[in-house]
Amino acid sequence: MTQNPTTPNQDPPAHSGILQIVNGAYVAGAVSCLAQLGIPDLLENGAKSAEELAAQTGAQPDALYRLMRATACVGVLAEGSDKKFSQTPMSAVLRTNAHPSLRGLAIMTGREWHERGWSRLEYCVRTGKQALDEIYGMTIFEYLKHNPEESRIFDNAMTGLSSIDGPAVADAYNFAGVQNIVDVAGGHGLLLATLLGRNPHLKGTLYEVPHVLEGAKTGALKPYMDRCTLASGDMFSSVPAGADAYIMKHIIHDWPDDACVKILKACRQGVNPGGKLLVVDCVIQPGNNFSPGKFLDLQMLIFPSGRERTEPEFRKLLEASGWKLSRIIPTAAGDSIVEGVA
């Protein structure tokens, strides 16, 4: 008698698992294309056919149908018996006006610079160097500065993530003893706006490079400008002095240790007596359990030459900068708040 090669108590064969992982690149590409075309926005008021949506987006109807059929099989859209497509909870997150909106992040992952960067992962692993310097002759941040449209997409992606991370940080940390805070490299200021909204006693400063700061003037911070200052400069040499706390969300992970020490030393020099350092990043845990942070770590290797860090690595980094790691506070978003004291 021939035995079935798999039974309900057996794991699927190894090649099935690898195929599923590799096919993930196809899924991500399709979802990115869907977001770039703005299909979820167009379905906000009800189901539509591929022909209707093609007329609105300038796409070829059959090709658009095939794209939506593919994303629907992973829960991003739903196809009805009439071949019309409707919104699902996951496609709704890709709307421009969703809260949170991951449209910017989905679009960014499909941009040429991002895909070319991941195609150079072997180069990065062999050399330890970032990819875009080898591809374009400039770092990721230089590339974004010289490509305003890509910078806009990148900023939208980071703002979308902040709409998830920001409330989680505000929920996890007690800011009662902090009177003024500087958000170092805080993008368009959504994290700082969230903290100011939750803590009416708090005053804040958004510290960014000039071309990013422009986008903050009419953004989430606008209702709080009576308690907020916008400042620009070089975080590697100095930060606005006289703050009770300096917070950085997904900034320290952008840089190698020597660059991080410069940023953290600048914060140490500027902080008020008894002040705090708040680094919001992934904290890598030991073991083989699945961790998005371990793949974000590869993203940091490829683009800005940074890394995600373990608790011992954070402790060593803070000590080299004049800080002492006092505690690590998990948040509901999966990041942690690494708190340092002077």
Counted residue by residue, the chain has a size of 342
Same domain, 95 and 162: no
Q: How high is the pLDDT of residue 213?
A: 87
User: Is 126 contained in some domain?
Assistant: no
Q: Which one of 107, 135, 170 terminates a domain?
A: 107
Counting other chains too, the contacts that 93-96 makes at CB distance below 8 Å and 24 or more residues apart are 94/31, 94/34, 94/35, 94/40, 95/40, 95/41, 95/44, 96/38, 96/41
Phi-psi region of 137 (alpha: psi -120 to 50; beta: other; left: phi over 0): left
User: Is 9 contained in some domain?
Assistant: no
Same domain, 89 and 194: no
Answer whether 293's CB lies under 8 Å from 284's CB: yes
Q: What is the CATH number of the domain that holds 336?
A: 3.40.50.150
Q: How high is the pLDDT of residue 11?
A: 79
Report the share of the chain in percent with pLDDT over 90.
Answer: 92
Answer whether 168's CB lies under 8 Å from 333's CB: yes
Same domain, 312 and 182: yes
Domain that includes residue 80, residue range: 14-107
User: Is 48 contained in some domain?
Assistant: yes
Q: How many domains in the chain?
A: 2
| CA nearest to 282, candidates 339, 334, 325 | 334
User: Is 8 contained in some domain?
Assistant: no
The 3-state DSSP class for residue 149 equals: helix
Q: What angle do CA 201, 204, 205 make, to 5 degrees?
A: 170
User: Is 336 contained in some domain?
Assistant: yes
Same domain, 65 and 190: no
Q: What is the CATH number of the domain that holds 96?
A: 1.10.10.10
CA dist list (Å): 220 to 166, 187, 189, 248, 331 = 12, 11, 6, 17, 22
Same domain, 191 and 317: yes
Q: Which residues does the annotation mark as catalytic?
A: 253
Strand pairing partners for 48?
Answer: 85
Instruction: Give the chain's radius of gyration (CA, Å).
Output: 22
Per-residue pLDDT of the chain (342 residues; tens, 9 = 90+): 444 555 556 778 999 999 999 999 999 999 999 999 999 999 999 999 999 999 999 999 999 999 999 999 999 999 999 999 999 999 999 999 999 999 999 999 999 999 999 999 999 999 999 999 999 999 999 999 999 999 999 989 998 999 999 999 999 999 999 999 999 999 999 999 999 999 999 999 999 988 888 878 888 999 999 999 999 999 999 999 999 999 999 999 999 999 999 999 999 999 999 999 999 999 999 999 999 999 999 999 999 999 999 999 999 999 999 999 999 999 999 999 999 998
Q: How high is the pLDDT of residue 10?
A: 76
Same domain, 223 and 102: no
Q: Which two tokens stand for residue 70?
A: 């593919």
Same domain, 61 and 210: no
pLDDT, tens digit, for every residue of 134-183? 999 999 999 999 999 999 999 899 989 999 999 999 999 999 999 999 99
> Which residue type does 178 have?
V
User: Is 290 contained in some domain?
Assistant: no
Q: How high is the pLDDT of residue 8?
A: 59
Q: Which one of 107, 142, 170 terminates a domain?
A: 107
What stretches of 43-81 show up as alpha helix (H) in DSSP? 50-57, 61-72
Please state whether the predicted TM-score (pTM) of the whole model is above 0.85.
yes
C-alpha span between 42 and 123 (Å, rounded): 40
Q: How high is the pLDDT of residue 218?
A: 84
Q: How high is the pLDDT of residue 217?
A: 80
User: Is 114 contained in some domain?
Assistant: no
Q: Which two tokens stand for residue 10?
A: 């057996």
Same domain, 99 and 169: no
User: Is 149 contained in some domain?
Assistant: no
Same domain, 320 and 181: yes
Answer whether 61's CB lies under 8 Å from 54's CB: yes
